[in-house]
């Protein structure tokens, strides 16, 4: 089956390729193990030029002896690969979506994280992450692993040739105490440390900014090989990849930044600027940290 490459199809092709390479198999070797006459068939699946049927995915996973959660994740990718939107409700689907999100971010050129109530994940300190998870009811035996995974995702903005990150953060996220005031002071100081990186821009939406699209909820816009918008709530996750959906969220970013993304690219700016400048944002973050420190 051919067609435009959806977010789920991209995730499926990437997962199949990664599994094969992890096992040190060539395309020809995997084709022989799985009983396919032509290695080119698997190659087209791995590049997303064609989409394998569910039974073909199972056949490849059997040949590579993939079981457990990893198998469930890949099967989740293989269901509904051509649906216009990717909604993940079950635990295997949510694990699959998280793996795909990490992959999309790892190959991104630009990421815009809009977060009105919490510090965006890529900018969270280890202590803040742990406090979120403890207060959110994460089992103690999973805590260390899940914190490590979240911290590892930060490599997207700290590695060589990092993605450019624009974080649009609500003032409420800066003032909401997670864990303790000491943890929040550390988080706010860390936020300004990361904001000093040349590829990271932090913009605060002050309480006085009036209505803006972030009040409708958080979202992450990822621009790269596979442009997507990621939305999450307590029960599900959603990837949007159709151009009309992407433009809707790009318009939301333009509204909050006043068209500054276009001006950076030499295009006419549009929108109404409601977010503070990076310099003013850093000053406010430091001011709130100082307030919390003196009242801790």
Give 146-191 pLDDT, tens digit per residue: 888 888 888 999 998 999 999 999 999 999 999 999 999 999 999 9
pLDDT under 50 in the chain at which residues?
1-3, 261-263, 265-266, 268-271
Identify the pLDDT of residue 4: 52
Nearest to 225 by CA among 241, 238, 239, 237: 241
Q: How many helices (H) and strands (E) does the chain have?
A: 14, 7
Does the CA dihedral 223-224-229-232 come out positive or negative? negative
Contacts of 223 (CB under 8 A, 6+ apart): 108, 109, 110, 111, 112
Identify the pLDDT of residue 97: 81
Question: 0.95 exceeded by the pTM?
Answer: no
Query: What would the two tokens of residue 29 be?
Result: 């070797």
Q: What is the pLDDT of residues 233-269, one digit of tens each?
A: 877 888 898 899 999 999 999 999 985 544 454 454 4
CA angle 149, 151, 157 (to 5 degrees): 120
Identify the pLDDT of residue 259: 55
Chain-centre distance for alpha carbon 241: 13
In order of 19, 34, 74, 109, 289, the CA distances from 13 in angstroms are 10, 17, 10, 20, 45
Identify the pLDDT of residue 269: 46
Identify the pLDDT of residue 1: 36
């Amino acid at each position: 089956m051919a067609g435009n490459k959806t977010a789920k199809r991209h995730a499926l092709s990437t997962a199949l390729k990664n599994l094969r390479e992890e096992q040190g198999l060539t395309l020809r070797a995997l084709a022989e193990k799985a009983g396919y006459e032509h290695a080119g068939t698997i190659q087209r699946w791995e590049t997303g030029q064609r989409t394998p049927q569910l039974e073909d995915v199972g056949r490849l996973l059997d040949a590579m002896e993939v079981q457990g959660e990893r198998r469930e994740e890949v099967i989740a990718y293989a269901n509904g690969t051509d649906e216009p939107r990717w909604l993940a409700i079950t635990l295997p689907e949510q694990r699959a979506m998280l793996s795909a999100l990490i992959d999309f971010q790892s190959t991104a050129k630009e990421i815009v994280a809009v977060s009105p109530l919490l510090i965006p994940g890529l900018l969270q300190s280890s202590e803040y992450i742990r406090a979120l998870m403890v207060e959110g009811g994460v089992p103690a035996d999973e805590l260390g692993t899940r914190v490590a995974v979240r911290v590892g995702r930060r490599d997207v903005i700290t590695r060589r040739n990092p993605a450019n990150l624009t974080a649009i953060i609500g003032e409420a996220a800066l003032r909401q105490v997670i864990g303790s005031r000491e943890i929040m002071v550390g988080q706010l100081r860390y936020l300004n440390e990361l904001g000093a990186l040349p590829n990271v821009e932090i913009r605060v939406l002050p309480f006085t900014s009036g209505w803006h699209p972030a009040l409708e909820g958080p979202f992450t816009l990822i621009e790269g090989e596979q442009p997507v918008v990621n939305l999450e709530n307590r029960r599900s996750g959603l990837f949007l990849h159709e151009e009309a959906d992407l433009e809707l969220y790009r318009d939301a970013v333009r509204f909050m930044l006043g068209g500054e993304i276009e001006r950076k690219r030499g295009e006419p700016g549009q929108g109404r600027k409601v977010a503070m400048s990076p310099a003013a944002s850093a000053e406010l973050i430091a001011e709130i940290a100082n307030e919390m420190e003196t009242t801790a």
